[in-house]
Structure 1
Amino acid sequence: MLFVRKSPQLNIEISNKIPLSTFSKLSISSWVKAKDPSTLVKLEVDATDIIVAIKAFNKKNKCSISLTHYVAAIMSKCLNKHNDLNRVLLRNRLYQRKNVSIFFAAFVKSKKWGTDLSGVTLYKCEDKSIVEISKEVEEKVLQLRRDQDPAMKAVRRLVKPIPNIFLSLYLKFFEFILYTLNWPLTLLGLPKDPFGSVLITSLGGFGFETVYAPIIPLSRTPFLVCIGKPHLKPWVVKQEIVPRNILTITFTIDHRLLHGVQGARPYRLFKRLFNNPDEILKKLPQNH
């Protein structure tokens, strides 16, 4: 008996169930949690011209797009074009997601709560320009840092009274509701599909040039993207070695949902889009 209701009130909006290959069946059964089957990919890209293009675009359009927003817009296009990457694992079965949603990690510091790691989620990113992504992230992060984010308040309210010794069981209960029954917990103040299709974190601001991070088991997010700090490095340009601003992007991938053959084409698409800012840095719509 499956617990996916035909009602639109689902935690994650899914459509058809994906047939499992033999590899998928074995890997899903072998690796119970996403902490086990992580595959790590490192990509170094020349960001010299991209940084210049972003600065010029920001100045012209009076916005504040960053490399994080740039990478997010590219990921949205990749997942939308290659939707076999935009899937979720529920009850040891693969389901197709209906939309591309992106979680942006954010560090929060306050006198009341101290330093904490949280984030904001954007939904239906395939329909949003990079300008819209940038503005929405800024607004939500500002709300988060002002302690006005309802989702963060709900999480703290639900977690605070639980002793640490019981917290693991407590989280398993929520995991069962969210990802086995696929029911949202909006009545408790929690957002639907809180971690989205991909999780993006930028640690370049802290001085890290290369970072690898683990997938959060509770998230059911198959991709985690880490963006480092651009740094000068010898680079071959037109058969000459010159100093260029190199950006390191790492991908932590849930191998149960994706293998090398599936990832090859979107990987090439990501690199092509990164090096073609005109496809990402679209002009502001008239109503902005």
Structure 2
Amino acid sequence: MLCGYFGLARIFVPESAAKFNSPRRKLNMATWGDPDSPEVHGHFRVRISKSLQFIEDFNKATGKKLTITHLVMKMAADTMVDFPEFTGKIVCGCYVKYDTVDISCLVNLDGGKDLAFFAVTDANNKSLLKFCEEFEEKVESLRHGEGRKMHNKATGITDILPPSISGVLIELTGFISTVLGLDLPMWGIKRHMCGSMTITNVGANGLEIGYAPFPPVIRVPGLLALSSIKDQPIIDNGQIVIDKILTINFTMDHRFGDGTRGTKAMGEMKRRLENPYECLKIE
């Protein structure tokens, strides 16, 4: 095999290539292999003033505590209805669409020492009020109720296993629950547990740009990371104005769709967030 390798190199690599292959380049090529990650990264800026006013009006009218995270999750669900290629999973090399649009959210536990997630199922068919109520119920359960008990049960085994074995177990859990679509009741894990998209708010500590990676257990077509909201100058009808800006950073799995469809989906979501009164009702 070694002789065959050098034989192929002699045939297919011209002598002129030697000047491009410095010791540093050879070291780099020996250190890393060919890229195989399907991740695509990008971000878009949203003028969020109208959404902030909508949130204030909603909270006054309902007595609830709607936040920008709630609103982005709901808008994401409503947007994904028109982009069905991003609302499913890959099984044995084939795309399989989910029956419902489910959106999940990452939640900090114990002041950021731990992390958990929950999903709002059939999110696009729920009113904003119902969505908000279910969101708060699940966050409360994860932090202080039954959800926290199940989370501790599911993650407790990682305390006694070495990371190498835990990694295999996490990969297997994601495969069984998402690819095979089976519940794992012994660990409190339900099938398709993260749905079509996962939202995380990374701007709580002032971060403006931050892209989330794909953990194996999540297995979603896309991730949205919300930045902190900043006053920034923008051009409006040829004039420089100051407005509230939210930067949304996205990570997309290229296996689910191309850049054209992905950017169209993000553009539609941006339109909805900038015009919330046209897209949602205050009940």
Instruction: Classify the TM-score, shorter chain.
Output: 0.7 to 0.9
Larger radius of gyration: 2
Aligned-partner residue type, residue 182 of structure 1: G
Matched-pair contact (CA < 8 Å) for 2:177–2:190: no
Runs of 4+ in structure 1 over 6 Å off: none
CA drift of 1:229 comes to: 1.0
Residues 266 and 154 (structure 1 numbering): CA distance in 2 closer, same or farther, change over 3 Å?
same
Q: Give the structure 1 partner of residue 53 of structure 2.
A: 52
Alpha carbons of structure 1 residues 252 and 145: separation in structure 2 relative to 1, 3 Å: same
C-alpha spacing 1:90/1:134, structure 2 compared with 1 (3 Å): same
Could you tell me which residue of structure 2 aligns to residue 38 of structure 1? 39
Q: Is the 8 A contact 1:154 1:190 kept in 2?
A: no
Partner of 1:5: none
**Equivalent position amino acid for 2:82 in 1:** K
Q: Does 1:219 align with 2:218?
A: yes
The total of aligned residue pairs comes to 249
Cα distance in 2 for residues equivalent to 1:138 and 1:129: 14
C-alpha change, 1:210 and 1:156, in structure 2 (3 Å) is same
The 10-residue stretch of structure 1 (155-164 or 251-260) with the greater mean CA deviation from structure 2: 155-164
Counterpart amino acid of residue 91 in structure 1: C
1:250 aligns with 2:243: no
Distance in 2, Cα, partners of 1:45 & 1:55:
18
Question: CA separation in 2, counterparts of 1:283 and 1:51?
Answer: 14
Whole-Å Cα distance in 2 between the matches of residues 41 and 63 of structure 1?
32
Whether the 8 Å CA contact 2:50–2:275 is kept in 1: the answer is no
The answer to whether the 8 Å contact 1:89/1:220 transfers is no
Question: Following superposition of structure 1 onto structure 2, how do residues 7-86 of structure 1 map, counting pairs within 5 Å?
Answer: 36-86=37-87
After TM superposition, the structure 1 stretch with the greater mean CA deviation from structure 2, 221-230 or 205-214, is 205-214
Amino acid at match of 2:72: V
- Equivalent in the alignment of 2:97: 96
TM superposition score normalised by structure 2: 0.80
Give the whole-Å Cα distance in 1 for the aligned partners of 2:137 and 2:186.
24
Alpha-carbon distance in structure 1 between the residues aligned to 2:280 and 2:205: 26
- Alpha-carbon offset, residue 57 of structure 1: 2.1
Sort the Cα spacing of 1:176 and 1:275 in 2 relative to 1 into closer, same or farther, 3 A. closer
Q: 1:53 & 1:172 partners in 2: Cα distance?
A: 40
Cα separation, partners in 2 of 1:223 and 1:245, compared to 1, 3 Å: same
> Cα deviation per residue 1:5-25 (whole Å; 9 max; x = unaligned)?
xxxxxxxxxxxxxxxxxxxxx
The verdict on how the C-alpha distance between 1:49 and 1:171 changes in structure 2, with shifts beyond 3 A counting, is closer
Counterpart residue number, 1:16: none
CA deviation profile, 1:32-55 (whole Å, cap 9, x unmatched): 6xxx11111210011123212221
TM-superposition CA deviations, 1:151-196 (whole Å, max 9, x none): 3133134434433342122223324433453322134422222221
Q: How many Å apart are 1:31 and its aligned residue?
A: 7.6
- The one-letter amino acid paired with 2:124 is E
Which position in structure 2 is the counterpart of 1:120? 118
* Pair 162,73 (structure 1): closer, same or farther in 2 beyond 3 Å: same
Partner of 2:17: none
For the residues of structure 1 that align with 2:56 and 2:224, how far apart are their CA atoms? Answer: 23
Unaligned runs of at least 5 residues, structure 1: 1-29
Alpha-carbon deviation of 1:221?
0.5
Question: In structure 2, how many angstroms separate the alpha carbons of the residues matched to 1:180 and 1:278?
Answer: 38
Instruction: Report the TM-score when normalising by structure 1.
Output: 0.79
Q: Give the conservation status (yes or no) of the 8 Å contact 2:197–2:224.
A: yes
The offset of 1:91, in angstroms, is 2.1
State the secondary structure of the residue aligned to 1:100: coil
Q: Hey, what does 1:272 align to over in structure 2?
A: 271
- What is the SS of the residue equivalent to 2:223? strand
